[in-house]
Structure 1
Amino acid sequence: MALPRVLAGAAALFAVAACVTALPAAAAMPSTLTLTAATNGGTPHVVELTCDPDGGNHPDAQTACMQLAQVDGDIENMPGTEAHIFCPMIYQPITVTATGLWRGRLVQFQDRYTNGCERDNRTGNLFRF
């Protein structure tokens, strides 16, 4: 009678252990994004951003990856700047794109902002390069 309880307990522990170890593995999947920014139809500036581990040629990969992690790679919901800065009313349109993979999920993002200040208020450090 005690053996079935021990086996059931062992099976439950095994199932919990499998779930616990699967979560960090999914969160640690490498992410690679190609980011572009172009003002007024000019030649785009292109950088590569890798996360988990942080790297690429993005000037502040650590902060950009941290901000992406906060929204699970959903750029539309980026936290933006800490304190939304008052932006001057200077019209210098900037178009940004992001393509690649975030933890195994396809990312395709494009948006246009009035100027770099508005872009930073909406997307934090991600396109600040």
Structure 2
Amino acid sequence: MAIPRVLAGAVALCAAAVCVTAVPAAAAMPSTLTLTATTAGQAPHVVELTCDPVGGTHPDAQLACIQLAQVDGDIATMPGTEAHIFCPMIFQSIKVSATGLWRGRTVLFQDSYTNSCERDNKTGNLFRF
């Protein structure tokens, strides 16, 4: 009777080890996004953002990755970095897009804003480059 108990315990221990190691691997999946911002009448600005590990050509990749992690990569739900800031009535249309992967999920985001102030209010630091 002792051998079946030992085998059952070993199986349970192995199953637990697989579960424990699977969670960090999923959380550490690399995230790579191509971010584009185009101000009316100007050439597009394009940067790469890599998270887990942080890198790419984004000027503040660490903050952008932190803000994305807060919303699990859902850019449409990002809180702006400066809540309730009043934006001037300067009309300089900006179109932004993000394509790539966030922790294994496809990201396709696109939006337009009246000016950079409105963009930052809606997307935080992500498109500030």
Q: Percent identity?
A: 81
- 1:30 to partner: Cα distance: 1.3
Aligned to 1:29: 29
1-side partners of 2:9 and 2:56: how far apart? 46
Normalising by structure 2, report the TM-score: 0.92
Once the two structures are superposed, what CA deviation does each residue of 1:97-124 show, in whole Å capped at 9, x if it has no partner?
0011112221111000111111111111
Aligned to 1:128: 128
2-side partners of 1:128 and 1:56: how far apart? 14
Q: Structure 1 pair 82/18, CA: closer, same or farther in 2 (3 Å)?
A: farther
Q: Structure 1 pair 16/36, CA: closer, same or farther in 2 (3 Å)?
A: same
**1:52 counterpart = 2:52:** yes
How many residues in Structure 1 have an aligned counterpart in Structure 2? 129
Once the two structures are superposed, what CA deviation does each residue of 1:35-94 show, in whole Å capped at 9, x if it has no partner?
010112531111111111101110100010111111111111112215332211222111
Aligned to 1:17: 17
Normalising by structure 1, report the TM-score: 0.92
> Segments of 4+ in structure 1 off by > 4 A?
none
> Any stretches of 5+ residues in structure 2 without a counterpart?
none
Q: In structure 2, give the amino acid aligned to 1:34.
A: T
Q: Structure 1 pair 41/17, CA: closer, same or farther in 2 (3 Å)?
A: farther
2-side partners of 1:41 and 1:9: how far apart? 68
> Any stretches of 5+ residues in structure 1 without a counterpart?
none
* SS of equivalent to 2:43: coil
Aligned to 1:97: 97
Q: In structure 1, give the amino acid aligned to 2:124.
A: G
Question: How do 1:104-119 and structure 2 match up within 5 A?
Answer: 104-119=104-119
CA-based RMSD: 1.3
